[in-house]
Structure 1
Amino acid sequence: MKDLRYFDPQRRATWLELFFALIFVVALHGANEILTEAHEGHIGAQQFLRFVLVFLPLWWIWAGHTIYANRFDTDSRQHRLSTLLIMFLLIVISAQISAGAQHYTLAVACYCGARLIIASMYFVSRRKHNLHGRFASTVGTVFAVGAAISLSSVLLASPWSYLVFYAGIVFDMTALVLLGGRLHVVPAHAAHLVERVGLLTIIMLGESVISISAALANIVWTRSNAAAAVSGFVMVSAIWWIYYDSFHLLERRKLATGHSILYSHFFLFIGLAILASLIRHAILDDLDPGDFRRMAAAGTVLFFLGKQYGYYMEVPELRPYLLSNTAAVFAMTALMLMLPLGLGAMLGGIAATMICYVLLNLRYRHLVRPRQEAA
């Protein structure tokens, strides 16, 4: 037990975990490309669904490792080597995204390999929390069974192969929720889990800034694309403010399983990816306004739902303010998207609604700061 970082009162995310977050975002780049390709000015529902389905297994590898490291990380050589191998498999998977179904078997094998490595890490760690070894063995077994289900998909033809592959992921997620009572024996390390998701979020925000730079490369500058670039950066800055201004409130909470934070960030990350792609499309002005509106609505809703759910579950005193502030932002976004505006103007409107949320947050800061200082 003495080697577990879980019991370190000054625990912080390790450099390896930061490296993992960087590799995850690099691997995610191929998935994000799906949303940047407008076919004759359109991004259809099928294209958006493909993005989500590609994103899900990549995120679940990161989430599975985060769940393990949160409770069992010793920063040992074995842990480092296993983590580095998982990171390499993530890179291989991302390289197969553009190939589509052609390299499906290789991508599935790498995904299942990463999941089985995480499962084996649990089995090896079953004695680290002394009397709670059954907890590690149970989660390791769940991950191994989920990987076996997904791996069996290579024996089937499309579309059954895809259904079975994602059934393995759904099995993992559902089993962890149903086993929530057992997970309580080793509660999530709140400060570490919050820092892990915060690190990944800040790196994904950096990707949004990269999308601005990429869109501005080799274009003829005009007032419209310059305004779109400014609006995009203002929006990213406002998102940073919204996300991190009250982030410290979660660090001192007892999160039990941590599912409210970890699972909700799946939707938050998808929302961030959508909003990042909108910046690029607004600068290039290459997307149908109707598709832009639908993507803007989806991105805004997913970001706020993903961000707010953790606070709603873990900081009950904020619930009235979370509900009223979110409803106000959704109403303003809907009103703005109904106006006959161009892409750049709509992006500016989204940035304005984000700024409005920052201002609305000032209403409840006096409720939480005194309690934090008292703690």
Structure 2
Amino acid sequence: MSTAVEAAEKRVTWAELYFDLVFVFAITQVSALLHHRHDLVGLAEALVVFVPVYWCWVGTTVQANIRDVDNPRDRLGILLVGLGGLFMALAVPGAYGRRGLLLGVAYWLARLVLLLLVARLPGVWRGPYGVAVLVSGPLLVAGGLLPDGPRLALWSLAALCDLAAPLVFRRRLAVVAYHPAHMPERFALFLLVALGESVVGIGGPAAAARLDAAELAAVAAAFTISAGLWWQYFVYAADAMRHAVETADSRRDVIRRIFQYGHLALAAGVIGVAVGFEETVADPGEALGAGSVALLYGGCGLYLLTFGYTRWMMFRRVAVTRLVAAALVLALLPAMVRLPALVVLVVLAVLLVALNAVEHVRVARAAAGAAREIAAEEPVAAPADRSVGGPV
């Protein structure tokens, strides 16, 4: 990609935004599957189904990043992939029943469309797009023809093949020119879609409830949790991630580690929290089972731990406050099992509010320190109204 092209701000197209609407529905379907079964097998089943849904979205985002897709051919291609994503979403509730074959075929066809869209790129078959068409797609189709146990095993292998492809073909992907602004925006939008599911997890059960004082308090606490998760990413992390992409020596590595892998964990954590909300808001006085608490607190813990991973990968710095908060959330998990749902929600909400307050103080102090350093280095005659910026 030339310097002139990089200097231009690549915008997300309307076709991409419309495409995202399909994945709003897909995430809702994955949440419903996880809501149906909370044990370890249920978690594995939901994750194995979520990976191809997410990877289909990632493949579309990457091809829209490295090419100009604002033309009739690519718009139609994106819409066809969206249709495949819709079929996948429809298959999710019965993925381990009669709709397993539909999920596999829909994924395979969507990845074939994506491969055709980027077919002009040299060596595209020997990369993640080729792996999806030649390996993981056929594995998903074959798994859809098998009983539940073998199906889960074969689909797990397909998910591992997709996730491993960027690592296996790391050197080949080094020649790909990624646009630094478009990619962070797209993944932020995907996370926003996942956070939207948490709002649905609050509002859906509450709308059918009596809405007495306890239930309204539970709604307020749950929304505070959702807003706290949003704040952690969009106030403290989003700009830092964009800065990391723009300044990285290897954009390929940042995109793979931070966006493709890191956001998979972030979205999975949010989905866990969203499903936990469905179990708590409607019956705030009832004690939760271990599965519901694990989804709520475990999802929040995974979300915060992932920021520890992303910060280290971006800047080789430890996200102390978030790691401490994650450890505290996970440590409290066993104690929350027998408490009323409202107490469980309020405790988690207070922890997230406290974490964001601490982060705010640290950021403000860092900005003040940077301003003092700039002022000390400037000549006496220099203007006093210098702004201080930069990612958190």
Shorter-chain TM-score above 0.5: yes
- Map 1:1-375 → 2, pairs under 5 A: 7=6, 9-37=8-36, 43-99=38-94, 100-124=96-120, 126=121, 133-134=122-123, 138-146=127-135, 147-154=137-144, 156-246=146-236, 247-253=238-244, 254=248, 255-257=251-253, 258-261=255-258, 262-285=260-283, 288-316=288-316, 319-320=317-318, 322-331=319-328, 334-335=331-332, 338=335, 341-365=339-363, 366-367=365-366, 373=389
Q: Which amino acid aligns with 2:223?
A: F
Q: Which amino acid aligns with 1:163?
A: A
- Rounded to whole Å, the distance in 2 between the matches of 1:85 and 1:5 is 31
* Displacement of 1:344: 1.1
Q: Which amino acid aligns with 1:310?
A: T
- Cα 1:343/1:112, change in 2 over 3 Å: same
* Displacement of 1:273: 1.0
Counterpart position of 2:384: none
Q: Which amino acid aligns with 2:97?
A: A
1:27 touches 1:94 (CA, 8 Å); kept in 2?
Answer: yes
* Displacement of 1:157: 5.0
Superposed CA offset, 1:245-284 (max 9, x none): 1211121222333111221111111111111122221112
How many residue pairs get aligned? The number is 360
Counterpart position of 1:129: none
- Cα 1:93/1:135, change in 2 over 3 Å: closer
- Rounded to whole Å, the distance in 2 between the matches of 1:9 and 1:293 is 47
- Cα 1:138/1:37, change in 2 over 3 Å: closer
* Displacement of 1:158: 4.7
1:135 touches 1:182 (CA, 8 Å); kept in 2?
Answer: no
- Cα 1:217/1:139, change in 2 over 3 Å: closer
1:5 touches 1:73 (CA, 8 Å); kept in 2?
Answer: no
2:266 touches 2:302 (CA, 8 Å); kept in 1?
Answer: yes
1:289 touches 1:343 (CA, 8 Å); kept in 2?
Answer: no
- Rounded to whole Å, the distance in 1 between the matches of 2:33 and 2:167 is 30
Identity %: 22
Deviates more, 1:234-243 or 1:10-19: 10-19
- Rounded to whole Å, the distance in 1 between the matches of 2:125 and 2:157 is 22
- Cα 1:16/1:315, change in 2 over 3 Å: farther
* Displacement of 1:45: 2.5
| Contiguous gaps of at least 5 residues in structure 1 | 127-132
1:97 counterpart SS class: helix
Deviates more, 1:300-309 or 1:285-294: 285-294
- Cα 1:164/1:5, change in 2 over 3 Å: farther
- Rounded to whole Å, the distance in 2 between the matches of 1:338 and 1:325 is 21
Report which of the two structures shows the higher radius of gyration computed on alpha carbons: 2
* Displacement of 1:310: 2.2
Q: Which amino acid aligns with 2:219?
A: A
- Rounded to whole Å, the distance in 1 between the matches of 2:294 and 2:204 is 23
Q: Which amino acid aligns with 1:31?
A: V
* Displacement of 1:118: 1.5
1:336 touches 1:349 (CA, 8 Å); kept in 2?
Answer: no
- Cα 1:81/1:271, change in 2 over 3 Å: same
Q: Which amino acid aligns with 1:106?
A: L
Deviates more, 1:331-340 or 1:243-252: 331-340
Q: Which amino acid aligns with 2:131?
A: V
- Cα 1:154/1:300, change in 2 over 3 Å: closer
- Rounded to whole Å, the distance in 2 between the matches of 1:336 and 1:156 is 37
Superposed CA offset, 1:205-229 (max 9, x none): 2222222221112322223211110
Superposed CA offset, 1:86-113 (max 9, x none): 1111111221223342122222111111
Deviates more, 1:330-339 or 1:248-257: 330-339
* Displacement of 1:172: 2.5
Q: Which amino acid aligns with 2:302?
A: L
- Rounded to whole Å, the distance in 1 between the matches of 2:148 and 2:197 is 33
2:11 counterpart SS class: coil
Superposed CA offset, 1:311-332 (max 9, x none): 221133xx23x03432244225
- Cα 1:85/1:96, change in 2 over 3 Å: same
| Contiguous gaps of at least 5 residues in structure 2 | 372-387
- Cα 1:323/1:289, change in 2 over 3 Å: same
TM-score when normalising by structure 1: 0.86
- Rounded to whole Å, the distance in 2 between the matches of 1:71 and 1:14 is 13
- Cα 1:188/1:352, change in 2 over 3 Å: farther
Q: Which amino acid aligns with 1:373?
A: G
